Structure 1
Amino acid sequence: MEGTKASRAKFKLALVLGLGSLSIVLLFILSLTTGAMEISFNNAMSGLWNLIQNGGAHENTQELVLWQIRIPRALGVIAVGVGLSVAGAVMQALIRNPLVDPYITGVSSGAALGVTTAVLAGVTIAGLGVYLTPIIAFIGAVMAFL
């Protein structure tokens, strides 16, 4: 009986990891076709393949948009998702509460307070532009958690 439980648990883990990986790949590909400039699925895939073969040298505007805007955006989203999942796991481990919720611990409120304060105070830092809001939200969330 124990052997079947362990094998079922391994199968579930493999299934979740496989489906998660597949969804990341599919959403990455979908994100290459989404944006202000219309790029079809076929053009995105051929442009991605050309960029891989040419070492990042682009041949047309669509490949330039892929290489300089959409691929970094998609990779950044994946990195942020990984970071948030690790942060959630660490938070669960530190607090040792299976029902940890950012609203209960005040993390969401701290992030909202940080952004609201920064927006109302007119805080700007040259070079950060749109990246400043999530940075301030993160700082507010960390301050509330501590």
Structure 2
Amino acid sequence: MTRTAVDPCTTAAPEEDPAARRTPRAGLLAAGLGIALVAALTAAVCLGSTDIAPGHVWSVVLRRLGGAAARAGTDDLIVWQLRVPRALLAALVGAGLGLVGTATQAMVRNPLADPYLLGISNGASLGAVAAIVLGVSADSLLGLGLSAAAFAGALVSFALVWCIARRGGGFSPLRLVLAGVGIGQFLSGFTSYLVLQAGDEQQTRSVLFWLMGSLGGATWSVLWLPAAAVAAGLLALQARARAMNALIMGDETAAGVGVDVTRLRRELFAVTGLLTGVLVAVSGAIGFVGLMVPHLCRLVVGGDHRRLLPLSALTGALLMVVVDLVCRTAMDSQELPVGVVTAMIGAPVLLFLLDRRMEAGA
């Protein structure tokens, strides 16, 4: 008897969801988010301790993109060397966190899962804190300094979680989450110890500020790494979007329509782990974005990952650009850590989502 192969794409849950058909067209929503993102990026470059007119900002940007030399003046320096790289880094970090959050929630089949649940960020934090306490210079470690140390810590954490999660040949969501939480807490203990060993008050402040998230170190030379990682992550996840749709329905259902569940989960873990390591390395630990963005997008466009992934990336980018602008301009005397603002937004959103799930289960 000949067995007919079944395409998992044909059984994706979002195609059967009536609510998904009532949502606005994803293309129009993506266009709107794109316009809003450009406006937010413009505002992020214009506003600060010294406000610069939008016309002058775009004049500088277009002139530099055209290859023209920089003109003498403080405004050109502020726009091109300081604010544009920071705004772009905020957008890249937000887009990456949106992608990681979406993939993590599909991987563990829980819409309230957070990318930091896998423990990768704890490893990155340990690497960065160790570099600060040990006095690693910005020019060391292949010229990347703190970012290189953070990424190395993320890779170590990734390897530990991977080895524990795959013991026995399986790769179940429960085992993956438990391994991530356990390794994360173990590494967090070392991080706390290193914070206590900081040699002076300035070191302690640097450590704590980095742990709460910061985009202040953005430069043009830093942007290539997160840009390449986010682009590669989006392509890799988008290629697996239909299989992720089937995975959401459960392991047995996904396997029944031809999805290699274990392999898919390993691939998703590899993509999310490496991408998380890159993001934490360039921005510090920024929580709640990966939790909020995918869930909010899912409420609008449904659960089809073919639409959810790019829209989560756009929404995350927009959110982070706005949050970073608030962090820079909310207080005259100092800059707020990015993680403080995302936590103030994310905690109420999390409580709201939990309340909705409790009401739905009642």
* CA pair 3-119 structure 1, distance change in 2 beyond 3 A: closer
Task: Report the counterpart of residue 65 of structure 1 in structure 2.
Answer: 78
Maintained 8 Å contact 1:56/1:67: no
Q: Which residue of 2 aligns with 1:43?
A: 56
Quick check: 1:32–1:74 contact (8 Å CA) kept in 2?
yes
Which amino acid counterpart does residue 8 of structure 1 have in structure 2? R
Question: Is the Cα–Cα contact under 8 Å of residues 33 and 41 in structure 1 kept in the other structure?
Answer: yes
Whichever residue aligns with residue 34 of structure 2, its letter is S
Once residues 116 and 127 of structure 2 are traced to their aligned partners in structure 1, the CA distance between those partners, rounded to angstroms, is 15
Higher relative contact order (CA 8 A, sep 6+): 2
One of 112, 133, 137 as aligned partner of 1:120: 133
Report the AA paired with residue 57 of structure 1: A
Matched, 1:8 2:26: no
What pairs up with 1:37-116 in 2 under 5 angstroms?
37-49=50-62, 51=63, 55-61=67-73, 62-92=75-105, 95-98=107-110, 99-116=112-129
Give the number of equivalent residue pairs. 140
Instruction: Kindly indicate whether the alpha-carbon contact (under 8 Å) linking 2:101 and 2:115 is maintained by their aligned counterparts in 1.
Output: no
Deviation for aligned residue 1:144: 1.6
Matched letter for residue 56 of structure 1: A
Q: Which runs of 5+ in 2 are unaligned?
A: 1-15, 160-362
Q: Determine the structure 1 residue equivalent to 2:34.
A: 21
Which one of 37, 43, 53 corresponds to residue 30 of structure 1? Answer: 43
What amino acid maps onto 2:33 in structure 1?
G
Q: 1:46 to 1:104 in 2, by over 3 A?
A: closer
**CA deviation after TM superposition for structure 1 residue 117, in Å:** 1.8
1:138–1:8 Cα change, 3 Å: farther
- Distance in 2 of aligned mates of 1:21 and 1:13: 12
Kept in 1, the 8 Å contact 2:45–2:79? The answer is: yes
- Cross-structure match for 2:186: none
Structure 2 SS opposite 1:20: helix
> Which residue is 2:310 aligned to?
none
Alignment correspondent of 1:139: 152
Distance 1:116 1:64 in 2: 31
2:102 & 2:155 partners in 1: Cα distance? 15
Seen in structure 2, the aligned counterparts of structure 1 residues 83 and 4 have a Cα distance that, compared at 3 Å, is closer
Distance across 2 between alignment mates of 1:65 and 1:46: 13
TM-score, normalised by the number of residues in structure 1: 0.65
SS in 2 for 1:108: helix
- Mapped to 2, the partners of 1:19 and 1:91 lie a distance apart of 26
Structure 1: state its 5+ residue gaps.
none
